[in-house]
Amino acid sequence: MSATTAKDRVVIFDTTLRDGEQSPGISLDVGEKLEIAEQLARLGVDYLEAGFPIASQGDFDAVHAIASSVSGPVICGLSRTAHKDVDRCWEAIQPAERRRIHVFIATSPTHMEHKLRMSPEQVRAEAISAVTRAREYTDDVEFSPEDASRSDFDFMCDVLQAAVDSGAGTLNIPDTVGFAVPGEWAQRIRSIRERVTGDYVISTHCHNDLGLAVANSLAAVEAGARQVECTINGIGERAGNAAMEEIVMAIRTREEQYPDVEVGIEISELARSSRMVSRLTGYPVQFNKAVVGRNAFAHESGIHQHGVLNERTTYEIMDPQAVGAGDSQIVLGKHSGRAAFKDTLAKMGIEIQGDALNSAFTRFKELADRKVQLTDADLEALVAEEIGGTVEHDFELVSLGVQGGNVNTPSAELVMTVSGEEVAVTCTGDGMVDASCTAIKQATGIDGRLTDYNVLSVTGGVDALADVTLSFESSDGVKVSGRGLSTDVVEASARAFVSALNKIARVRATGEDPNAVDRPGHIG
């Protein structure tokens, strides 16, 4: 019989609405803060730092509203050491079922001298006075020595010990300016635990100035920290705070590396939390952001796509569904292979095989080379064009060079194959499209007039595909239509025209009803 050892809970202390909201340019109103707080509760955070009540009436109102209506997490407010700050903080969080006051004062030489203008002894006295005051309201008091990573270790421990002796149950060690590196940070946490005696939980609060906030937080956990302060999407002052989704997923995914601890987060709510915070703060999530970025589970290269289509874990260490990010994504681009192309079409309900698949794939590669990413709408249009084009053609466009503008006469240099023979023609016209169509008429020997011409942009953006449909009536009265697709509107027009003239040639050769072959919008 194997004995199971209980794991320590790493308390997740969310400070999205306090430190996160201190990001430049973010200003959430009470309603928005409440919406985020409700989501944080669904996410299962243990502590929710709702704001800094003394900072403004708006901050007070938001903390009070959250304390009055959000259940689940312990609601925390931040406070400086002045008693009026502590009193105001308590007033704001008072309606909550469970409450914490978080008191802080800086202990680094530079902060004490240039910001607080206090001596170390004054700072120590302030810490004692504030913690004592907070304890008059609640048993749950957290103390932070701001700028801990640049504080004199002995002095900081002296203040921490005084805070514990005055009743603080959590000692939060902030790397306020993101100065620490993981090995050093772990050592500092370990040394504090050895030095400061009493019954307290040690916490870590890391900023990301060197991009190390998550690594430092995890190093602190390995060194014995049992609370991590973090924010959704890593938002916060300057380069931000440690990103909650990354810390939680590192502990969950690499369980064997963190055998003594567990986190109580409902990870299926991570993606939704990220989207909500991004939407309400106006802070975009970087595409390649770990866990919640839009490319976190997207694969573009053919080799990766093939692997993931066979077995997701070949290139994914987390299940996107588990974090609420939906399915793995196969992004079609110039690196994609045939397997991914076919699979994407199948998911869109388009089944093509054999020659149709080959020619559609060839066209896709050509387009993907010019357009970074192809949307479903692009693919649909491309396949529609190719399906119309899987029949043997008399005419094929080989190359087209055009010159336009209002200085020289628009002209087109065209090379195409006519019944297998290459023909080169140069023509001028009223515009580049007109010059191209005149050249095509000359090369094919088919005369007539355009009766309708439409250009649609398949998707938005400057690199959108142009989808040209046109109607043509030959001089012997055959009416057909054609469709062409390209990132270039003149090329799309030429392709549409060539496809129309191919139908004329077919009608002339077979006597076939032009309407039977004339289905430009049909996908198959």
- Residue showing tokens 């469709």: 483
For residue 37, the SS3 value is helix
Question: Which residues, at least 6 apart from 79, have a Cβ–Cβ distance to it below 8 Å?
Answer: 52, 53, 54, 85, 86, 88, 89, 101, 102, 103, 104, 130, 134
Rounded to the nearest whole angstrom, what is the least distance from the CB of residue 214 to ligand KIV in the complex? 15
Q: 288 forms bridges with which residues in the sheet? A: none
Number of residues engaging ligand KIV in binding (CB under 6 A): 10
Rounded to the nearest whole angstrom, what is the least distance from the CB of residue 44 to ligand KIV in the complex? 22
Neighbours of 421 (CB within 10 A): 7
Part in contact with Zn ion (CB under 5 A); list of ranges 11-19, 345-353, 414-422, 479-487 = 11-19
Binding string, residues 11-50; x marks residues near ligand KIV by CB under 6 A: --------x-------------------------------
Distance in angstroms (rounded) separating the CA atoms of residues 47 and 72: 9
Report residue 149 as tokens. Answer: 């990573």
Binding string, residues 239-268; x marks residues near Zn ion by CB under 5 A: ------------------------------
Residue number, 69 or 110, with CB nearest to ligand KIV: 110
Q: String of b and e for 157-177 (b: at least 16 CB within 10 Å)? A: bbbbbbbbebbbbbbbbbbbb
From the list Zn ion, ligand KIV, none, which binds 344 (C-beta under 5 to 8 Å, kind-based)? none
Specify burial of residue 285 (Cβ count, 10 A radius: 0-12, 13-18, 19+).
buried
Report residue 463 as tokens. Answer: 């690199």
269 close to 234: Cβ distance less than 8 angstroms? no
Based on the shown chain and the rule CB under 5 A, indicate whether residue 19 belongs to the binding site for Zn ion. Answer: yes
The strands making up 395-403's β-sheet, listed across from edge to edge, are 395-403, 411-418, 421-428
What's the residue count for the chain? 524
Residue number, 59 or 146, with CB nearest to ligand KIV: 146
Phi, psi torsion values for 433, nearest 5 degrees: -70, -45
Residues 195-254 within binding reach of ligand KIV (CB under 6 A): 205, 207
Part in contact with Zn ion (CB under 5 A); list of ranges 6-14, 16-24, 349-357, 448-456 = 16-24
Residues 144-183 within binding reach of ligand KIV (CB under 6 A): 144, 146, 172, 174, 176
Binding string, residues 129-148; x marks residues near ligand KIV by CB under 6 A: ---------------x-x--
Q: Is the dihedral of CA 332, 337, 341, 344 positive or negative?
A: negative
Residue number, 77 or 320, with CB nearest to Zn ion: 77
Rounded to the nearest whole angstrom, what is the least distance from the CB of residue 146 to ligand KIV in the complex? 4
Rounded to the nearest whole angstrom, what is the least distance from the CB of residue 43 to ligand KIV in the complex? 21
From the list ligand KIV, Zn ion, none, which binds 146 (C-beta under 5 to 8 Å, kind-based)? ligand KIV
Residue number, 170 or 344, with CB nearest to ligand KIV: 170
Q: Which residue's CB comes closest to Zn ion? A: 19
Residue number, 47 or 341, with CB nearest to Zn ion: 47
Distance in angstroms (rounded) separating the CA atoms of residues 28 and 200: 33
236 close to 22: Cβ distance less than 8 angstroms? yes
Per CB under 5 A, residues contacting Zn ion are 19
